[in-house]
Structure 1
Amino acid sequence: MIIGTGIDIIEVARVQKAIDRWGEDFLKHIFTAEEIAYAQKRKFPTQHYAARFAAKEAVYKAFGNNTSLSWKDMTILNDENGKPYCRLNDSAFKNKITISISHTKDYAVANAIITS
């Protein structure tokens, strides 16, 4: 059963402006060490930061008003096949979160579906 859905799109340039303005403080506020390490290994890290930002926003929207998660309470990772997934720090959460991410040089988009 679907409990919630969320979608988000962001301009990659907007994330780059935040990185330019606040630098590592911005990255450490929004992203986990694993997410930062992942993005930094990529040819265009800002696109990957933007995609993970969009995924986190989509997850927040899927929860609606029923969450007190902070940015770093969730980590957006990829499995061995490259499929993105969301890992929550809340071990009490028993539902499934399915995410999909896509990005270009200009935009990143993600959707999230929470199911029981």
Structure 2
Amino acid sequence: MHIGIDIVEVPRIAKALNRGNKGFLNAVYTAGEAAHIEQAHAGDVRAAGIWAAKEAVVKAFGVGFSEGVTFRDVEVRYTATGQPQAVLSGKLASLAVDRSLQVLSISISHTENYAVATALVGPVSAEVRPV
């Protein structure tokens, strides 16, 4: 099992989002994430949480944003009950297959000023069982 964690300052993400164009939003977030951010009451807080989750996932894989892995290789989606899930694509998905690893769980939390996320990565054969 591998764990990744990240914390980010919400104002830093808000500043990048509010530069006047959607360059940052489109470079870092998938279309689904961007729509989720734009629909949220506190979009900058939501964006920071998703950013932290992406960082936590790549840290859990031990690669960070290197070896061809990009921000858009991790997409954060939400279940009907609001639980975040990480969906992999691109180079990170290939790395996961090569290493027989999968994202077992992610968790995101935030305040007005900070967002934090954790990711748990483990073998494809691992099961996550409800407690």
TM-score, normalised to structure 2, is 0.80
Larger radius of gyration: 2
Higher relative contact order structure (alpha carbons within 8 Å, sequence separation ≥ 6): 1
SS of 1:64 mapped into structure 2: coil
What is residue 101 of structure 1 aligned with on the other side? 108
Could you give the per-residue CA deviations for residues 76-99 of structure 1, whole angstroms, max 9, x where no partner exists? 111111110000012663533110
3-state SS of the aligned residue for 2:19? helix
Please give the per-residue CA displacement for 1:25-63, whole angstroms capped at 9, x wherever unaligned: 001010000000011111110000000000001011111
Amino acid paired to 1:35 = E
Q: Distance in 1 between matches of 2:82 and 2:24?
A: 26
Determine the C-alpha separation between the residues in 2 that align with 1:43 and 1:29.
Answer: 22
CA distance in 2, matches of 1:114, 1:47: 25
Partner residue, 1:43: 41
- In structure 1, what is the Cα distance between the partners aligned to 2:43 and 2:87? 20
Percent sequence identity over aligned pairs: 39
* 1:12 equivalent in structure 2: 10
Structure 2 counterparts to residues 12-31 of structure 1, below 5 A: 12-21=10-19, 23-31=21-29
Aligned to 1:111: 118
Question: RMSD of aligned C-alpha atoms?
Answer: 1.7
Structure 2 spans left out of the alignment, 5+ residues: 124-131
Task: After the TM superposition, list the runs of 4 or more consecutive aligned residues in structure 1 that deviate by more than 4 angstroms.
Answer: none
Q: Which amino acid aligns with 2:118?
A: N
Residue number in structure 1 paired with 2:80: 80
Give, in angstroms, the shift of residue 22 of structure 1.
6.2
Query: How many residues are matched?
Result: 114
Give the gaps of 5 or more residues in structure 1: none
SS at match of 1:27: helix
